[in-house]
Amino acid sequence: MDKSERLIMVVRKDALFGEDFFEGFRDRDEIDYETRILKNFEYIKRKFAENDPNYKQPIAYSMIVNPTLKQVFIYQRATSDAAYYEKRLQGKWAWGVGGHIEKIDVKDGNPIHASMLRELLKEEVEIIGSVKPRVLGYVNSEKDEVSKVHFAILYIIETNATTVKPKDPEIKHGMLRTIEEIDEICSSPDYVVEEWSRISLEPLKLYLYGC
């Protein structure tokens, strides 16, 4: 099926935020946006969701971290139309892995969590080691056309893996790197980093180093 025709999860912005709109990162202990999503979501075709700013598309955005080595999986999205559908993100660097929550993810339990496991373990990467997910918080931005219609449930995926391999053709390059190396990427004019990953960097540092 054409990706634009797939039914994906959305939630109306007024139901998601109410009086609690924010830009940037918000810790999971402050407000439970995940429960709001689960109480108010619906499904519409992706081609409509991408062009309707009244809705947010929840995305389980997972940062794969080896806390012992203090290394994070980073990657570059593919650069060609054939390999990567979303032209607005082609070629950008990121340290969050995730995708749309589709109707196929609706089974028993939490469809956000089910989508995260599907994307992470079956489609995007191969983690050669343990996998322990937890929600760190939420990311929201209105700075560009992609961010305006998406909302991130930010996961930390703790692992003892020393190797994480891309297995989806949508990922051009991927590897484990230190926070210092990620800082260099963020400050270099040679790399274009997606907005959600830039926002996620400070809470990622806080998680790893507590400061």
Residue 193 carries which DSSP code? B
First to last CA, the chain: 46
Q: pLDDT tens digits, residue range 58-99?
A: 999 999 999 999 999 999 877 554 444 555 556 688 999 988
List, as one string, the DSSP characters of 23-85: SEEEETTT--HHHHHHHH-EEEEHHHHTT-TTEEEEEEEEEEEETTTTEEEEEEE--STTT-S
In the chain the domains, ranked by start, together with CATH numbers, are 3-209 (3.90.79.10)
Asked if 118 and 105 touch (Cβ cutoff 8 Å), the reply is yes
Q: What is the pLDDT of residue 40?
A: 97
Cα maximum dimension of the chain: 46
Mean pLDDT, the chain, integer? 88
Give Cβ neighbours of residue 201 (< 8 Å, ≥ 6 apart).
Answer: 95, 182, 183, 186
Do residues 159 and 52 make contact, with C-beta atoms less than 8 angstroms apart? no
Confidence of residue 1 (pLDDT cuts 50, 70, 90): low
Specify the pTM: 0.91
